[in-house]
Amino acid sequence: MPPANEPALCDIRILDLTQVLSGPFCTQMLSDMGAEVIKVEGPQGDVSRHMPPDYVGDDSVYYLSINRNKRSLVVDLKTPEGVALVRRLALVCDVVIENFRPGVCARLGLSADALRAEKPSLIWCSISGFGQDGPYRDKPAYDLIVQAMSGGMSLTGARDGVAVRAGIPIADLAAGMYASSAILAALHRRARTGRGDIIDISMLDCQVAMLCYQAAFHLHSGRVPGRQGREHDAIVTYGTFTAKDGVELVIAAVTDRMWETLCTLLGCDSLIADTRFLTSNLRNTNRAALVELLQEAFLARTADEWIALLDSNGVPAGVVNSLDRVMSDPQIKHRGMVIDLASEDGRNARIIGDPVFFTETPRPEPQFPPAAGENSADVLRDVLGLGIDEIEALLQAGVVLARRKA
């Protein structure tokens, strides 16, 4: 049993065969909990290393945002020797995670079933657009496509406008989060039974699961909801308004007490006794008139002035922050959610940190994401026990590529 003062997953080794976003986001979550993550890349490196618009040295900021705390091994999986190396690595790891198209790993000679037959305790997690079976199994998937096909995009956008994708790549990120949760569950089960498992994560499944109560409403009533816009379907005072300075703020006055307090703060006490707005249902029925009156009142103060007033009187509210406001927000700064990373070769990057805080369990110190092949020789030596001559032969043959350290 590991000492109590070590990270939660310090005894777990993960072979990361993923690239771009869903898989690397998942493995970064696990590495933030202390897991050893060996990132296997092809000779061209993870696709995300080359994504515009911003770079630190040769690597995209996109890549740097989701690959901290990992070690990079570059292997040519088009060679039998490369496949054999990765197979050996899989058998000394606790978890293998991949996000190739279904069937690709098996065609390469990295079958989950075959590896688990040799090592029953191995946990294999596949992340794909539509899952390992079904009519869409082989259909190419990207975040935008999954957002659209899941129905979530039909709910997003102005009520009288066109469908809009979420501003964050929620289909990729959610798949990574569901995968992380499933892997932790499989590790817990393995601790009891000694057996691993094969996990099948579909981006589309994850997005449909996140329809949550909207799907339940439809399944119950048969109604097809439209775009939600900036408002709530039933609660008028749960929505967005513009302040004097042009900054948008959101209000969540969901009870009668909050409604009355909001009216008083806005200088609209007459609305409380207005027969059009006496109940939540009436306020919803007469939504258009009420929104116009509330919006006019909100133009009397700046967003920050309104937030201070609403907060101090118990009316839930927040500013629709632009990213510059988020990064300078006192709560975000207090929680340490923006971290500075520095590499040994002098590169620096500012990225978003780990949102999981434990009371007793320590978290590893965030490490700068590795350059492609930065740890190739170290992994082969430390994990597989290869000697210097064996490693050099693999490098000379082009089976393994390494970033030579200065």
Query: What digits encode the pLDDT tens for the residues 208-222?
Result: 999 999 999 999 999
Condensed to tens digits (0 to 9), the pLDDT of residues 273-323 reads 999 999 999 999 999 999 999 999 999 999 999 999 999 999 999 999 999
Long-range CB contact pairs, 308-315, < 8 A, 24+: 309/265, 310/251, 310/262, 310/265, 313/261, 313/265, 314/258, 314/261, 315/251, 315/253, 315/258, 315/261, 315/262, 315/265
State yes or no: is 58 an active-site residue. Answer: no
pLDDT at 242: 97
d(CA 164, CA 147): 9
d(CA 315, CA 38): 48
Catalytic: which of 16, 172, 197, 354? 172
* CATH 3.30.1540.10 residue ranges for the chain: 238-327
Helices H / strands E in the chain, number of each: 18, 14
pLDDT at 230: 85
Q: Is the confidence at residue 185, as pLDDT, over 80?
A: yes
Q: Is the confidence at residue 228, as pLDDT, over 90?
A: no
- On average, the pLDDT of the chain sits at 95
Condensed to tens digits (0 to 9), the pLDDT of residues 34-85 reads 999 999 999 999 999 999 999 999 999 999 999 999 999 999 999 999 999 9
Condensed to tens digits (0 to 9), the pLDDT of residues 344-353 reads 989 999 999 9
Q: Which of 303, 107, 128 has its CA nearest to residue 204?
A: 128
Polymer length in residues for the chain: 406
CATH of the domain spanning 13-210+339-401, picked from 1.10.1060.10, 1.10.10.10, 3.30.465.10, 3.40.50.10540:
3.40.50.10540
Confidence of residue 406 (pLDDT cuts 50, 70, 90): very low
Give SS3 for 97.
Answer: strand
Q: What residue spans of 154-202 are helical by DSSP H?
A: 170-193
What's the CATH superfamily of 238-327?
formyl-coa transferase, domain 3 (3.30.1540.10)
C-alpha distances (whole Å) from 216 to each of 149, 177, 210, 321, 342 are 18, 22, 11, 31, 47
Residue with the two structure tokens 């990295």: 110
Q: Is the confidence at residue 384, as pLDDT, over 60?
A: yes
* CATH 3.40.50.10540 residue ranges for the chain: 13-210+339-401
pLDDT at 3: 66
pLDDT at 1: 56
